[in-house]
Amino acid sequence: MKTLDLDSEWKLGTVVPFLGKCRPFVGYCCQRCTPKSWEFFFHKNMISLGFCNVIKISEGNTRFRGWLVRRLCCFFTVCDWKICADTPSDLQKRIFHSKRVQDIVCQKVPQSKGDAPETSMPVPQWMQRIHSILCQIQSSVSPLLLRLSHWVLLKLLNQMFLGVIIHNGQLEMVRRAAEVPDVPVVFLSTHKSQLDRLLLQLLLISQGLGTPRVTCEYKTYPSKCRTLLALLGGVFLPQGVEQARDSEQGVLSRAVLASYVEEVLRSRQPLLIFLEEAFAGAPQVSASSREWLSLVFSAFHSGTVPDIMIVPIGISYDVAPDSGYRGKVSSTQTLSLWTSLWTICRAACRGLGCVRVDFAQPFSLQEYVANSLFRQSSSGKCLEELLLPEILGKRCSILDCEKLEQWSPGSKGIIALNTEQEILVYNLGLHTLSAGVSCSAIMAVQIMSALFLHKHKEGVFLSQLMQDFVWLTEEILLRSYDVGFSGQVRDVVLHALFLLRHCISLYHLSLGDVLVVPKKTDEAMTELSQHSTALLPVFIQEAVGVCAASALLVELLPYLGSPEQLRDVVLVQEELHNKTVLLVQLLPRDFLLCQPCQSLYNYCQVAVDKLIQCGLLVAEEMPSDVLVCDTAQKRFTKRLLWKATDDFADSDSDYSDETGNCCFKISQVENCSNFFVFLCCLLSPLLKTLERATVFLWEMESPQSESQYVEKLHCFLARKAKEDSSFECVCRTLTTISVRIYKELGVLREAVGQGEPILHLSETFRAKENQEKLEKFIQQFIYS
């Protein structure tokens, strides 16, 4: 057996894994919430328009021809791009005369106690204060600097990636949306890397979609980087917006920011907002994105613009340039300029495969708001009321009631919204995040990482690995997700192995095959787990269903003679559905990617149905008084395993005994058994994090700030991971999600503190007995 070195002995050819012209078209908007947009912005011929590589610039992209042009084509192309980034000369005056600012000037907004009246302040002083706040928000865009940075960025991208691929049909949809008169466009994107801001701005400008204003986190960048990003079109939340609502500086900062967003949208400048925090390890709508969405909604609600076109964006990398920070760095941690430059240089030398950018179908905010307000209801119960009695064994969980999701309280938001509007903004963020994730392509590296982490931890032959790669690719395509590669299987597999060369070892056997073994080091397992998380949204409903089925089997295990007898256990569909509801109620909606127009009850029904469709559950014939050949007429809806309606009253009445009492067995076919375990492993990182967060409750000290608690819990998870090599749990995003769940569940209580809330253990869970009950409840869903 001979060890192969991917860097030297095994010379892999560079394969661009985007050779196909026909692709499954992804990213349709919600037909229920935006039916008119669903029909208007799509045409069948868009599917066959194929792909283009944004960073592949040639002589044909310029107006000139010749020997010199072929060598300077990037320079000429960037110079030809239309950059409309002129800031109005009277922007400051417009903001001063806006209604929000004038209300403060005229003392129509209540001031805090002890503040002196400001009615006598001269206009120049007001203008000076507004100018100071405006400088924190934005700066005049420099077209020369923007062109220079894009020219440099094109050179770097060609060094780092084989290509940045977009679908021409999706571009055509976005162009149609941008051509709607007097309607601005707001892009809402997923966030995979700090490079996303510059990359998306380059893409939008190069395709003639305008020069967008890009939202940035103020605390993430040092002052020099903020100045540079502002000159390139970056906009920031000013520091004053975090102050108390009744403070004078806070009121003025929020009014200036809201007026600025209104002016941006009125001038039809595109706005790019990132829905997730940088380095996120799981889907989660960030607090800052909800603030920006509330500002956009407020501009529409006030009548500043008649409508706004919303365009979700999904980004996929084979390997992100700063993937080493993913799941480890807090979103509030400042990244120095030298750190960013070193990351770019290292990425340029390493080679990172391909990037795929997908645009979901645009939809009208006006249409979405009208349909949402017509159907929206704030009824429901909090997670503590729904699930805590079940955990403590006091009574069964309420299975037919919606969970009331928590969002940023209005008292701390930039814009004062009522409860109905806050729910609408939260649902808008959830809808667009679901659309952005569902249109994101799955890359070859992500599929390969999931196979190594959840199926072949001890190693696999290359021939078998290729078969499994094809199998998993087909499963992804069957679920209406696209993949970011095409071509011969062997070439694509070798391409992925080359990019994962630091995480695997290759051994050439005398039989002629190659043994591929993932390394057991901390760095290798962490990188594989980061890549594999991209597959969870694809299989999230099946993963929830199999974990619920596993929990039912675990309950029966003490009553059986041996684990082998579990293969003969019959599962009743109603019991499986109820167990699925318990798990779905525990997990956040954004993690589940459950759209707000879909009830959790319906979500669970679809999850069980998908297990039947993919063959994991096999129907079991049970004795019945009704003959098999009975042809009596029945209502068609009663024969469905899931109901088309989300109305609980109708669902309960239509949920017949025939459907609820269907019985199933776990399929014993080898492929199905392996798929069952694979799905359980996909959801296990969050469930294990929740379990260990319960153990950490025993070590919780006196009340402490939320940031301190998250940091200590993250360190605790890192120590536990070194003991059993479960490095997939060492993710800061999963840590924050577990803290969020325990706050909603009533395990942790919040108290008002200076700057951020103070967390302390609730009275109920100070008893070790209740902590053990919580741990046991979570353990039942973890496959072992």
17-50 pLDDT per residue, tens: 433 334 567 888 888 888 888 888 776 677 767 8
pLDDT at 633: 42
| Per-residue confidence band for 475, with pLDDT thresholds at 50, 70 and 90 | very high
N-term to C-term CA, the chain: 33
Three-state SS string over 19-50 comes to CCCCCCCCCCCCCCCCHHHHHHCCCHHHHHHC
pLDDT at 497: 94
Average pLDDT, the chain: 82
Please answer whether residues 438 and 537 qualify as being in contact, where contact means their C-beta atoms are separated by less than 8 angstroms.
yes
Rounded Cα distance between 206 and 219, Å, is 29
Contacts for 567-572: CB closer than 8 Å, 24+ residues apart:
567/665, 567/666, 567/668, 568/665, 569/665, 569/666, 570/620, 570/622, 570/663, 570/664, 570/665, 571/617, 571/663, 571/664, 571/665, 571/666, 572/660, 572/661, 572/662, 572/663
Residue 380 amino acid letter: G
pLDDT at 16: 41
pLDDT at 647: 44
The 10s digit of each residue's pLDDT in 653-690 is 444 445 557 888 888 888 888 999 999 999 999 999 99
Residue 17 DSSP one-character state: S
Helix axes 573-586, 536-556, angle to 10 degrees: 120
- Read off the pTM: 0.88
Where residue 404 falls (left for φ over 0; alpha for ψ -120 to 50; beta otherwise) is beta
pLDDT at 47: 72
What mean pLDDT comes out for the span 772-780? 93
Lowest mean pLDDT among 239-253, 328-342, 353-367, 429-443: 328-342
pLDDT at 46: 72
Instruction: Tell me the DSSP string of 304-347.
Output: SSS--EEEEEEEEESS-TTGGGTTTS-TTSPPPHHHHHHHHHHH
